[in-house]
Chains A and B, each alone.
Chain A
Amino acid sequence: MDGIIQFEKVHFKYPEDQRESLRDVSLTIREGSFTAVLGRNGSGKSTLAKHMNAILLPTEGRVLVAGIDTADAPRLLELRRQVGMVFQNPDNQIVANVVEDDVAFAPENLGLPPEEIRRRVDAALEQVGMLEYRLHAPHLLSGGQKQRVAIAGVIAMEPRIIVLDEPTAMLDPQGRREVLSTVLRLRREKGMTVVLVTHHMDECIPADRLLVLSEGRIAADGTPEEIFSQDALLRDLGLDLPETARLLRDLRQAGLELPGGALDLEGCAQAVAAVLN
């Protein structure tokens, strides 16, 4: 079956670099799935994300998104309206001085009629829980709120895919929770395809697929449970285990027989409680 995002032997090199940032990446992402992309700084994970809406084009190979070749210039807008991109720095992606004007930016670019824009803006702000802030000035919001406005700004395009490039890297724990729960809700309620680029192990746990990038290659690909059971591999890639996975591993090594593995907090506690009670 064809995926909604397809990478075919993709190579990419920035003109100023010696080395390739992506090397022979082939990948299929199913519609409606939640894929987390993990890797250390400079592993190519952001470069990968930027290929998903034609901000970057492969130097070799090709990328198909919703059936459109990202190199197909005349179809660029058609492609981009299907892929909402959220970036790391919330300040640098908000374009207007009033929240609702910012959310209206993309639908305005799409040339929609004013009533339709209004409807989408209100719906998008509602979905991220920021409707009551619609007349606020973005620079006075908290980091988590700004990032939710940025998410509203892309879902107002009514995209099928949302790609988040380290959306929580600059946020405090509360902001991080706000953004993650918003993303999970969008997926649950709207069936959106989600790609989350991150270096926080914990954020990968709710994903149904985890890709680990290293030096421009896909170094591991599987469910979070599968990948977080490969301790040595992760260490080689410069990554940590989430605390839950570390605990389950150490307890198993100490001889406890634990039922197999959910990695979220509740699942982990469940497993441990089962042998202790």
Chain B
Amino acid sequence: MLKDITLGQFFPGDTIVHRLDPRTKILLVLLYIVALFLAVGWLGYGLSVLALVGGMALSKITPRNLFKGLKPLIFIISLTAAINLFYTGGTPILPGWIVTWEGIDRALKMVLRIVLLVTGTFLLTYTTSPMALTDGLELLMKPLKKVRFPVHEMTIMMSMALRFIPTLIEETDRIISAQRARGADFETGGLIRRAKALLPILVPLIVSAFNRAYDLATAMESRCYHGGEGRTRMKQLKLKRVDFAALALGAAYMTAAVLLRNYGI
């Protein structure tokens, strides 16, 4: 059920990808996303697939684990595919059919784009602890502090959110089971009835989230938390040679993506 959601999950490991500085990884993923959106032809998509497979091999994340995270998105992916398949004009595959060759091409590319986008970002979160991830973000966004952007507050909020995702998922499962034990029915009825049926889940979940937030704030204060001011980190981030190498590779990859786009392949 909900436990299958892998958002924010981290698979500890000791591969070269795990050891990369989180800033490097964040930048590489950004490059990867941009390259993905630059892709127009199959060669361009091929480049992105290559990047993903490379990252997967180096990080020893199995395809199964990576693609498991797509489960909750199946609906969106199918919808995208269907829309592109049926609403793209062009040459019908058979005379009189609504499905066109162009539609198939576009649907496949769209699906590939979403899958690559999601799995690529999963590769980042699977190989980077949320703490490192937020540390990396905080450092990358440091310049924004000058314009009074609350960088520390934002990143700590993000890391707390990631920390509590598994806890809240577990809790949601428990509440759903408990309400089903009282005969709650989430499967039948029209849209309004179904939406109403969610109240017995949402109310307790929100109440509990508030209680947890209150407890958490107390616990953090008790452990001397007082904002980002004067705070140090146990794990210092330092760019190593491998990071520079990875970034150089990223730059080359980006150049290739731009070239491919220019040639429209």
Asked whether A and B interact, the reply is: yes
Q: Evaluate contact between B163 and A107: CB separation under 8 angstroms.
A: no
Question: Which residues on B sit within 8 Å (CB–CB) of A251?
Answer: none
Interface residue ranges of A36-59 to B (CB < 8 Å): 50, 53, 55
Q: A55-B222, A93-B215, A157-B224 are in contact. Are A139 and B234 (CB under 8 A)?
A: no
Q: Evaluate contact between A85 and B159: CB separation under 8 angstroms.
A: no
* CB contact between B222 and one of A53, A94, A121, A137 (< 8 Å): that residue: A53
Interface residue ranges of A66-100 to B (CB < 8 Å): 77, 80-81, 83-85, 87, 89, 91-98, 100
Q: Evaluate contact between A101 and B232: CB separation under 8 angstroms.
A: no
Interface residue ranges of B215-231 to A (CB < 8 Å): 215-216, 218-226, 230-231
What is the interface residue range for chain A against chain B?
35 or more
Q: Total A-B residue pairs with C-beta atoms closer than 8 Å?
A: 108
Interface residue ranges of A165-206 to B (CB < 8 Å): none
A128 contacts chain B at the CB level, 8 A cutoff? no
Question: Which residues on B sit within 8 Å (CB–CB) of A53?
Answer: 222
Alpha-carbon gap, A106 to B231, bound state (A): 10
Q: Evaluate contact between B215 and A89: CB separation under 8 angstroms.
A: yes
Chain B interface residue count, Cβ-Cβ cutoff 8 angstroms: 33
Question: Which residues on A sit within 8 Å (CB–CB) of B225?
Answer: 105-106, 109
B160 contacts chain A at the CB level, 8 A cutoff? yes
Alpha-carbon gap, A154 to B218, bound state (A): 13
Closest-CB distance, B205 to chain A (whole angstroms): 14
Alpha-carbon gap, A77 to B224, bound state (A): 6
Chain A to chain B: the 6 pairs with minimum beta-carbon distance, closest first: A93-B219, A92-B215, A106-B223, A117-B234, A104-B234, A85-B222
21 pairs, A vs B, C-beta closer than 8 Å: A55-B222, A80-B222, A80-B223, A87-B215, A96-B131, A97-B159, A101-B129, A101-B131, A101-B235, A104-B234, A106-B225, A108-B231, A108-B232, A109-B225, A110-B224, A112-B232, A137-B10, A137-B12, A153-B223, A154-B222, A157-B224
